[in-house]
A and B are shown apart, each in its own frame.
Chain A
Amino acid sequence: MANQYEFKGKFLPYLLVLPQMVIVFVFFFWPSAQALWQSFFLQDPFGGRVIFVGLQNYTRLFTEPSYSYGESFRVSVAFAVCVALLAMVTALFLATQANKKLRLGTFYKTMLIWPYAVATMVAGVLWLFMFNPNVGVIAWFLKHRLGVDWQHLLNSGQAFLLITLAAAWKQISYNFVFFLAGLQSVPNDLIEAAAIDGAGPTRRFWTIIFPLLSPTTFYLLVMNLVYGFFETFPIIHQVTAGGPGKATSILVYKVWRDGVINLDLGGSSAQSVILMIMVILLTVFQFRFIERRVNY
């Protein structure tokens, strides 16, 4: 910023940042502070008494079995990791295939990139429609051809599998765009040199291309985990509603359910604060890494 030419003006810069700052304060800082504040109180949902309870809302999460917060945590981690792995491995494989000189190259790319536009919620509807036990084509096929009774509203393993597939399906294009961009920036002469030295395609991939892709892979890993943890609410809400029981009740779904449906403001706020801490850690982690990379 130091060598940038600067205009003079006392009020103009404040006027320019004003809209942004008003929104940041009203819709970001104020509600976040509220969440923190409310997490120390127990509130009657009908606007009655408010009692200061200290950290009780937090300890309740981990000690009261009816909250099953630990269980929700475990499910969220398993879900986010499965989605990230499935979506990233598939996308990396497809990107290596699409990076070859193919006659239909542009067509393939467009066909693999456009699903980025599909809303997470719509991805949920698409997979729900295929696996709906009454009308779903795949559910029918599984039952009448393979003898598998698909009931994701009763079977928690099937529920988990379905939301994982739906969430990963939607994320493939995002990862594909980044992996393809990464692959295209790998210098061609490096690969040709290795080929002349007698390294086969598999060897070339693991010893040259994959290490060069590691910044992209790391960035995508963080983004996919963030996606799995925080952005998959629509799929859960649409496909399983956290069920059966609480088998797919991931953390963001639980915050919403405890706050909006069960009207437990204190408990929901305490969960919000825990989630904020998680996002902050992930963001800081990622930025520190990227900074280091730039310095190299």
Chain B
Amino acid sequence: MTEHSRLRRFVPNIWLWLAIVVIAFPIYLVFNASTHTSAEILAAPMPLTPGPHFLKNYGEAILEGSKNLGASALTMLKNSLIMALGISIGKIVVSLLAAFAIVFFDFKLRSFCFWSIFVTLMLPVEVRIMPTYKVISDLGLLNTYAGLILPMVVSATAVFLFRQYFKSIPKEMAEASQIDGASPMQFFWHVLLPMTRTPIAAMFVIQFIYGWNQYLWPLLITTKTEYYTVLIGINRMLSGADVQIEWQIVMATTLLALIPPALVVIVMQKQFISGMTDREK
């Protein structure tokens, strides 16, 4: 400690509390709105303390959904979960296999494969909207889970991270396992995977959030309500005139959409931070 005055030590606390309030205030408002009736919200300003309709609003949101939408939050949360798990697990599996091949095998197209994966960093969906849409529609994957998941399954970052990690593993381990008569896949499964648990967990946190929060892609390829993800559902519920919007349902759904990724970050904070900052290397 270089400064000792009590005031000096107290000031950071004030700033941090202020920041927490600014960050949490919009979310408090959403929670607050989800406990009132539509009429109370429309008669602005709505009360700033929670109302008594918590159970009723959430029950309605989860089981029925907004009247102008026709999809319950339960269905949409299920779709978001399938998409998020599909994308995160898919990315991890595909990237592990590719990184294993690139680090532990010598084959002709090795550097070609590596650079092909690298180049995907430069081609986010946002810049190739129409043609990617066309590919999915030609393959008959509009309004399917495969269509939601597959195009998102490539991850240059995951391949880099795993490649970096595999390269740090002493070569004697691979040698020893081969002398013991293990096949490459046995080495992968029994030696490499158990060692890679930490980076896998870190990648999972980041990719789960990435998957859950996808917006543009589901917006393009889901037109049937039974495939709406929760974010698309919220957008559709808000697309009417202000008076027709059932704000209390929309806000309950918004809060429900926030909880799963927030829980993942809070519970796995350590893995999350290491996964984020290791990427930089």
Contacts and interface: CB of A to CB of B under 8 A. Distances in A.
Nearest to A134: B242
Given A27-B151, A30-B135, A115-B23, A12 B184 contact: yes
Interface stretch (B66-74, B194-202, B250-258): B250-258
B7 interface: no
B123 A276 contact: yes
15 contacts: A5-B175, A6-B104, A9-B105, A17-B113, A21-B113, A27-B135, A38-B130, A122-B213, A122-B231, A129-B26, A233-B215, A259-B129, A260-B220, A276-B123, A290-B280
Interface stretch (A64-72, A156-164, A267-275): A267-275
B224 interface: no
Contacts of B88: none
B178 interface: yes
Interface of A: 1, 3-7, 9-10, 12-14, 16-17, 19-21, 23-32, 34-35, 38, 90, 93-94, 97-98, 100-102, 104, 108, 110-122, 125-130, 132, 134-137, 139-141, 169, 172-174, 177-178, 181, 191-192, 195, 201, 216, 219, 230-231, 233-234, 237-238, 252, 255-256, 259-260, 265, 268-269, 272, 275-276, 279-280, 283, 290
A140 B266 CA distance: 34
Contact of B262 (A26, A90, A117, A290): A117
Question: Considering the complex of A and B, which 8 residue pairs feature the smallest CB-CB distances, nearest first?
Answer: A5-B171, A34-B131, A119-B213, A31-B131, A16-B101, A117-B261, A13-B105, A126-B26
Interface in B60-95: 94-95
B131 A35 contact: yes
Given A238-B235, A272-B128, A116 B265 contact: yes
Chain A interface helix/strand/loop/mixed: helix
Contact of A94 (B19, B172, B185, B187): B19
B98 A237 contact: no
A19 B94 contact: yes
Nearest to A241: B239
A90 B16 CA distance: 11
Interface string B99-121: 01111111101100100110111
Contact of A113 (B12, B129, B150, B265): B265
Contacts of B3: 201
Contacts of A104: 13, 16
B233 to A, nearest CB: 11
A177 B262 contact: no
B231 A27 contact: no
Contacts of B15: 93-94, 97
A9 B264 CA distance: 39
A26 B135 contact: yes
A191 B3 CA distance: 12
Interface string B248-280: 001100100110011011100100110011001
Contacts of B26: 126-127, 129-130, 169
B154 A24 contact: yes
A14 B184 CA distance: 13
Nearest to A7: B184
Contacts of B126: 230-231, 233, 252, 255-256, 275
A97 B262 contact: no
Nearest to A99: B12
B55 interface: no
A178 B274 CA distance: 10
B42 A135 contact: yes
B53 interface: no
Contact of A31 (B103, B135, B185): B135
Given A112-B16, A114-B262, A20 B269 contact: no
B42 A134 contact: yes
Contacts of A127: 26
Given A30-B135, A259-B130, A126 B30 contact: yes
A29 B219 CA distance: 22
Nearest to B16: A108
Nearest to A263: B130
Quick one: which of A97, A140, A141 has the most chain B CB within 10 A?
A: A97
A97 B234 contact: no
B238 A137 contact: no
B33 interface: yes
A274 B235 CA distance: 29
Nearest to B210: A119
B12 A135 contact: no
A279 B134 contact: no
A192 B261 contact: no
Given A4-B104, A201-B3, A219-B280, A234 B30 contact: no
Contacts of B277: 177-178, 181
Contacts of B181: none
